[in-house]
Amino acid sequence: MGTIFFLIVFPLVVAVALLVLKTDAIRDMLVRVAAIVIGAASIYLAVQYYGTGGEMFDFHSETLNYLFMVIEALLAVVVIVLGIKYKKYLALVLAAIQTPILIWFELTIGHHVNVVNNIYIDRLSIVMVLIIGIIGSLICVYALPYMKDFQHHHHGEKDRRPWFFFLLFLFLSAMFGIVVSNNLVWLHFFWEITTLCSFFLIGFTKTKEAIDNSFRALIFNLMGGFGFVLAILVLGTYYNTLELSTMILYGTMGYSVVLPAALLAFAGITKAAQMPFSSWLLGAMVAPTPTSALLHSSTMVKAGVFLIIKLSPVLGWNMAGIMTMMVGGITFLFASFAAISQSNAKRVLAYSTVANLGLIVACAGIGTYAAVWAAVMLVIFHAITKSLLFLCVGTAEHNIGSRDIEDMDGLFGRMPRLATFMIVGISGMFLAPLGMLVSKWAAMTAFIDSGNILLVAIICFGSAATAFYWTKWLGKMTAIMARRENIQDHVHKEEWVVLGTLTGMTIIAIMAFPIISSGILVPYLVNVFAGVDAASLLSGNMFIMTAMLALVILLPILFFGKTNKKIVPIYLSGANVGDDLRFTDSFQQPKEVSLKNWYMEDYFGEVKMSRYGNIASAVVIIAVMAMMLGGVL
């Protein structure tokens, strides 16, 4: 248990130190050392608890409970003060309602509820610890040179990097707390810490747009937090438990826990930026790139899908499960469509993130072991590839001056190493033999087995849209325009180390696919779901995984060095003037080469797609909640 507490406390100590110590040299050294320590401790914890299958700890501390209560009250005061300052009164109201209710509950009813195990770590927790500890730490290291450049571009403004790195490491600390907490009151405490961290990170630049977007994120996540508080009240009052594991056990034993499950799933839906709450994650794009990578890949949104995956045994074909799977499916479809119309690379990544999270949520909502297998695999591969892509876009933006896909012509000539890393990341999202494709195939199989024809149609059309927008971007990346100046020497060493590590992790994850499945996922599913046919689950996906692993190994061997490449002048619909970038047309006028994608905004504009998706998701959530509350009342 010492390793668990170390992973929560150590990043917190580092965060405070970074807030106090403001010298660049000390910050650089501390962040690098802390990243190595956190990554190593995460791996050690994984090895330490790998063979247990799931271990609970009866750690109790009344002092810690009161400390959490005081901190929650202080956080509510902060939100109220900021709500008054910026005239964001909905945030003020939500904080002023839910925190007093929770404190009242803890001091009255909750005080008499016996919590046996405050901490619980299983193989899903181990997966999340590795994602947070390794990918999250790499993002912090990447942020060092990035934020130096950021400060250079904003040299006339106050240097607020100590605050930025404080928030990053506080974020990691809270995320570790979320994935090991079994006491729902503790989980809610860490949950709200991540909400406040994301609020401050999104509003870091303090522009009007940043402040508005940060409050949108805060309000939506406070709505989810209120649902979380209601779930705690229901479980404590009517089920006499505050333990997540006990709630799930009740559900699998036949007791109805649909209402608290739906309230917790609602909290997960808001945190995972599902429609109609997805706009908060899109608004996070105004923040510095490390923030986007952290929120989209290894923290925040992963907290939402983690909770929903944990709830999956009590979901399925009940009201809570139907709400979850349909909201996830609708989000996957319309966010995928909206991504087609985007040329801003970060917005493509944002909509792709929302879409993939929707697919994960839909799988968890189905609540079968096959669907959960697909969901966890999607979490793993999405975390690695999406963090790689966000950081690559940040590096490209700093060096070519744009994050627009249309400005990435000739990136192979200007930044060949970065272009290679980006192609690996983009391919990892939708091409064989990379992991997301296997996971989506497993998700489609689970949807078919569930009998939900609507979800089957959704994944078919949504996956087609996914292939379309990734192919457009990949086409721009692979179109080599000659004789461009190579500028990749301007990239900082730390950036190359982080991007290279993430690229290597993408490839290693593919090669370790069968091991991850048989060694981590199948044992987890056998432990969580009764009657799992482990042999069938393994054999069903093993053939595909083995075939793709063979492709990864054999293709480079078969084709390495076997090329009759011949460089010839490029045909440019006219007389090439000699630089392969301009040509003379039929009217003897000089023209520059231009390769443009079609973004189909009239058909898949983000306003239109967001409106349709938000309405459909809101109708599902309101209808399900109304039916459940009607049954209760």
Instruction: Measure the N-to-C terminal CA separation of the chain; round to a whole number of Å.
Output: 43
The segments of the chain whose pLDDT lies below 50 read 633
Pick from 360, 342, 228: nearest CA to 297: 360
Could you read off the pLDDT of 565-591 as tens digits, one per residue?
565 666 666 777 766 677 787 777 777
Helix, strand, or coil here: 575?
strand
Q: What pLDDT score was predicted for residue 299?
A: 67
> How many Cα atoms within 13 Å fall on the side-chain side of residue 20?
6
Of 276, 361, 364, 389, the C-alpha closest to 314 is 364
Q: Which residue has the tokens 């992963």?
A: 302
Residue 178: count of CB within 10 angstroms of its CB: 27
Q: Which residue bears the tokens 């250079």?
A: 152
- For 189, other C-beta atoms within 10 Å of its C-beta total 23
The residues with which 56 forms a beta bridge, in sequence order, are: 120
**424 Rama sector, left if φ>0, alpha if ψ -120 to 50, beta otherwise:** alpha
Residue for token digits 């996956």?
Answer: 463
Residue among 335, 338, 410, 332 nearest 378 (CA): 332
Q: How far apart are CA 131 and CA 588, in angstroms?
A: 57
State how far the Cα of 616 lies from the Cα of 604, in Å rounded to an integer: 16
Q: DSSP letters of 586-611?
A: TTS-EEE--------HHHH-HHHHHH
Q: What is the pLDDT of residue 221?
A: 95
Helix (H) or strand (E) holding 151: helix 137-153
Q: What is the reported pLDDT for 523? A: 85
Tokens of 143: 């942020």
How many C-beta atoms lie closer than 10 Å to residue 344's C-beta? 15
Single out the residue of 488, 55, 503 nearest to residue 245, CA to CA. Answer: 55
- Paired residues of 582 in beta bridges: 592
Distance CA 187, CA 244 (A): 9
Q: Residues 226, 94: contact at Cβ < 8 Å?
A: yes
Q: Which two tokens stand for residue 378?
A: 């999607």
CB neighbours of 453 closer than 8 A, spacing ≥ 6? none
Maximum alpha-carbon separation in the chain: 87
Which residue do the tokens 């559900």 mark? 251
Q: Where are the domains of the chain?
A: 2-60+115-150+160-558+573-632
The residues pairing with 591 across neighbouring beta strands, listed in sequence order, are: 583
Show the tokens assigned to 135: 């990918």
pLDDT at site 599: 85
The pLDDT, as a whole number, for residue 285 is: 85
- At residue 98, the pLDDT reads 93
